[in-house]
Chains A and B, each alone.
Chain A
Amino acid sequence: AQKVTQAQTEISVVEKEDVTLDCVYETRDTTYYLFWYKQPPSGELVFLIRRNSFDEQNEISGRYSWNFQKSTSSFNFTITASQVVDSAVYFCALSEEGVIQGAQKLVFGQGTRLTINP
């Protein structure tokens, strides 16, 4: 069965520090997709990245970077030089092909609440 674990419930750092959010997943499929979403205090989930299981290249987007390692079933997210605006709850999610009558099922981790202090 699909499962996503975000072991860090809350993280608090001082502005400009680097911070890594961990995500470990379980799946039996060889084809799957991993996502990260940001949920600021307003509540809306903002899509950050999608990565497929065949692409293990790390990705960098500005201060954000993602490290995908199939060997450890992890898809970790690093924010470099954190800013107060990065404060939010971050969710990692996993989807597989054809789990529900041909439709995707997106399984979320519990989320990590990140607080960046000035």
Chain B
Amino acid sequence: DGGITQSPKYLFRKEGQNVTLSCEQNLNHDAMYWYRQDPGQGLRLIYYSQIVNDFQKGDIAEGYSVSREKKESFPLTVTSAQKNPTAFYLCASSIGVRATDTQYFGPGTRLTVL
């Protein structure tokens, strides 16, 4: 089955620790995205990547980092510089980056800082 997988489903972090969220897709999509969702709010874009070895900051990139070494994978690292990291993180991919290209989402990772 084609789709997007994210792991882990739940993640707990102590303050001051970096954590990495995994996102893998087998849809052969060029573009991948990371969003953050806070309770009662819409999604906000953290980073996106149009193609392998390229990525761009979104609206709320501070305290986050990404890499895109493989087409299928777009991991997100939440660093200790992110002051309020507790949130639900969603990864998405699309065939391209045109406005008409539908983004498809993974199941999400819920991160809680203890």
Give A contacts to B, CB under 8 Å: 4, 9, 31-33, 35, 37, 42-47, 50, 52, 91, 95-98, 100-106, 108-111
Contacts and interface: CB of A to CB of B under 8 A. Distances in A.
B105 A44 contact: yes
Nearest to A97: B99
Contacts of A33: 99-100
A97 B98 contact: yes
A43 B110 contact: yes
Contacts of A31: 99
B42 A104 contact: no
Give the bracket for the number of chain B residues in contact with chain A: 20 to 34
B41 interface: yes
Contacts, number: 68
B105 A35 contact: no
Contacts of A35: 102
Contacts of B100: 33, 50, 52, 95, 104
10 contacts: A44-B90, A44-B106, A45-B90, A45-B105, A46-B105, A91-B42, A98-B99, A101-B56, A104-B101, A106-B33
B2 interface: no
Nearest to A102: B97
A23 to B, nearest CB: 12
A65 B43 CA distance: 24
A43 B108 contact: yes
B41 A110 contact: yes
B35 to A, nearest CB: 8
B31 interface: yes
Given A44-B106, A45-B105, A47-B102, A9 B40 contact: yes
B107 interface: yes
B42 A111 contact: yes
A66 B42 CA distance: 20
B103 A106 contact: yes
Nearest to A29: B99
Interface in B43-62: 43, 45, 48, 50, 56
A52 B101 CA distance: 11
A103 B50 contact: yes
